[in-house]
Amino acid sequence: MATEKSNYICKECGFVSPKWMGRCSNCGAWNSFIEKNEDIINKEFDIKPLSLSKIEITSHTRFLSGIDELDRVLGGGIVAGSLILLGGAPGIGKSTLILQVASLFSNRYGNVLYVSGEESARQIKMRAERLNSVSDNLMVLAETNYSKISYVLKKNPGYRLIILDSIQTIYQPKLDSSPGSINQVKEISNDLLKYAKRNEISVVMIGHVTKEGNIAGPRVLEHIVDTVLQFEGDSNNYFRILRSIKNRFGSSNEIGVFRMGSKGMKEVKNPSQLFLAERPEGAAGSVIVPVIEGSRTILIEVQALVSGAAFGNSRRITMGLDSKRLSILLAVLEKKAGLNLQNMDVQLNITGGLKANEPALDLAMITAILSSYREYALPPDLAVIGEVGLAGEVRAVSQLEKRLAELIKLNFKRVIIPKGNKNKLKKKMGINLKGISDIRQLISFLFKE
């Protein structure tokens, strides 16, 4: 590192510059350069790399939140020193869930700091009483000035968990930009990341979302944090899905299922049974399919409604399913099965507010459309699994035995599966399996043609 004429150094990373810079080109920190003489610049930093094999992982690397569904999504609990971002639409239950977690966590591990930029301390107390989440170890700070929040953290280093609700309402007064702007969010989240790693204290930030459902603010925020969780579901529906979008310490495919009640978020231990509880009997256009979400299998109900289009302008609408995939499957039905759907409205829905997008849904989507188109109700103990290609062929799917085990648990007797999967099954599953190789065989089996 050249230092002949250098007299400015970044206090964050030690990068040396011959002139003052507003932002460090090495680590990206703002206003971090200070003037130093050459004796200090040439001083060695007291750091050295560690051998990966000699780094010890203690039993307290993860902390249980007290809510099993959340711990599942996090990969087994809250990792010490991790920075977690929780997003979701307004009214979805972010603050409700995190207040319950704060209370349970404080009762088990010690002091928790809940920083609120949107509610007063009394408002939080009212909500905590309704949720039965009042705890002596749960500290509340109603503040939006990050300098004051940082001062509290330095004066009280004994917190085991810190919660910011929400990151878009907190501002750093030394920056001229408004709260929620790119500079504000980056500066505060970077500082919190360093605080979390340095002190081995976990930090949870609640984030707003845009109208498209993405987390508001700069995309770099999602790169900075260790874990990104997002609540899904309609605020008018009492089901909530907590999905892991990014997780450095576990699977990013896990989901947790909750039910919103008067006493807060309640865990749903068996989502398959709950999603199927209100399935109508003898209704055309309804079919069951098992989908894989992380380490669990969930049975979902796919509903289709095919009806005549008004004024010849056909519409294709999906709720919880990929609309582009629907367009492809309708084209396959028209080309390979001879169905004329050009003047028909086609609506597809997954009940319960769940969103799913995997190839194994293809055959269920086609089956539901055929059932509604022909006004033919499928047997209630029938399920469908399979991927459909552009030639109308039905392709094998992964983890079939795991899917079948969930169907057997809920007393399903018959399953339509890809022929490729049936030929590879190593053991009898105790369920009637029908293997098909294309959608024409599906039509022949369903309607006995």
DSSP string, 225-282: SSEEEEEES-TTSSEEEEEEEEETTS-SS-EEEEEEETTEEEE-S-HHHHHHTTPPTT
pLDDT digits (tens, 9 = 90+) for 373-384: 999 999 999 999
Place of tokens 């865990």: 267
> CA 276, CA 301: separation in Å to the nearest integer?
7
Q: What pLDDT shows up at residue 24?
A: 84
Backbone angles phi, psi at 396, to 5 degrees: -70, 155
Closest CA to 234 of 256, 262, 260, 208: 260
Domains, the chain, with CATH or none: 8-41 (no CATH), 59-269 (3.40.50.300), 274-447 (3.30.230.10)
Longest dimension (CA), the chain: 90
User: Strand locations in 24-157, DSSP E?
Assistant: 33-35, 62-63, 78-79, 83-87, 112-116, 138-142
Contacts (Cβ under 8 Å, ≥6 apart) of 365: 302, 304, 321, 325, 326, 329, 348
- β pairing state of 382-384 and 414-418: parallel
Residues of the chain with pLDDT under 50: 1-6, 41
Residues facing residue 259 across a β-bridge: 239, 266
Please report, as a single letter, which amino acid is at residue 134: V
> CA 430, CA 85: separation in Å to the nearest integer?
44
> CA 342, CA 163: separation in Å to the nearest integer?
52
Place of tokens 């509340």: 140
What the block records as the tokens of 405 is 């085990």
What the block records as the tokens of 220 is 């770099």
**Threshold 0.75, pTM exceeds:** yes
Question: By the 8 A CB rule, do 135 and 103 touch?
Answer: yes
Q: What pLDDT shows up at residue 2?
A: 41
Residues facing residue 433 across a β-bridge: 415
Closest CA to 85 of 72, 94, 75: 94
Place of tokens 């103990």: 381
